[in-house]
Amino acid sequence: MGEVAKRFSVSVDQDLCMGSGYCVHAYPGLFGLDSDGIAELLQGDPPQPVGGGPMVLGPDQVGAVRKASDTCPAAAIHIQVDL
């Protein structure tokens, strides 16, 4: 499939984010809200904010991020494929 070799990364366009918080509620380990109520990415354990990204994803995170991207009302969550 070639799917295995691909690396995925995610970014949040913070100019588009309308702060609806859907991603934060669904995946609190991956997304957080900054002090302005704008979504930001979280990395590591315990999760630390890393801003809008891009942030490389583990293979087990891709599905969750894709769902978050689909439900984001501002279409602000982008997934890139790094070849």
Partner 1 sequence: MTLPRESVDTCPVLPEGGACAASGSDQPVVGQDEPPTGRVNPWSRLKRDPFLPTRMQVLALARALNGHGRPGPLPPGPKGLPVVGSVLSLRRDPYEFFRQSAAEYGDIYRVPMPLYDMIIVQHPDFVSHFMDEPTGRYSMVGPARFLPSLIGAAIPMLEGDKFRQRRRMMMPLFGRRHLARVADTLADEFVDRIDRWSRWAGRGEIIDLQHEISQVTLPAFLRAMFSSSITQQEIRETDIDLRTFLGLIAAGTFMAPLPNLIPLPGRQSAPRSMLRLALLVRRLVNQRRSEPTETPDLLNLLLDARYDDGSPLSERDLVMELIILMAGGYETVVASLSWTLAHLLVHPDHLAKLYDEIEALGGLTPTPADLPRLTWAKACFDEGQRLQGHPLNPRFAMEDDVIGGYHIPQFSMVGVSLYSVHRDPRWWPEPDRYDPARFTDEALVKARPRLAFMPFGSGPHHCIGSGMAYMNAQFLLTIMFQRYRLTLPKGWAPEHKFAFSSTVKAGLPVTLARV
Q: Is 29 among the residues that bind partner 1 (CB under 8 A)?
A: no
Q: Does the protein bind partner 1 through residue 19 (CB under 8 A)? A: yes
42 lines the binding site for partner 1 (CB under 8 A): no
Q: Which of residues 27, 47, 54, 74 is near partner 1 by CB under 8 A?
A: 74
The CA distances from residue 56 to 16, 18, 35, 65, 73, in Å, are: 21, 23, 24, 11, 23
CA atoms within 13 A on the CB side of 43: 13
Residue numbers of the site for partner 1 (CB under 8 A)?
A: 14-20, 22, 25-26, 35-38, 70-71, 73-76
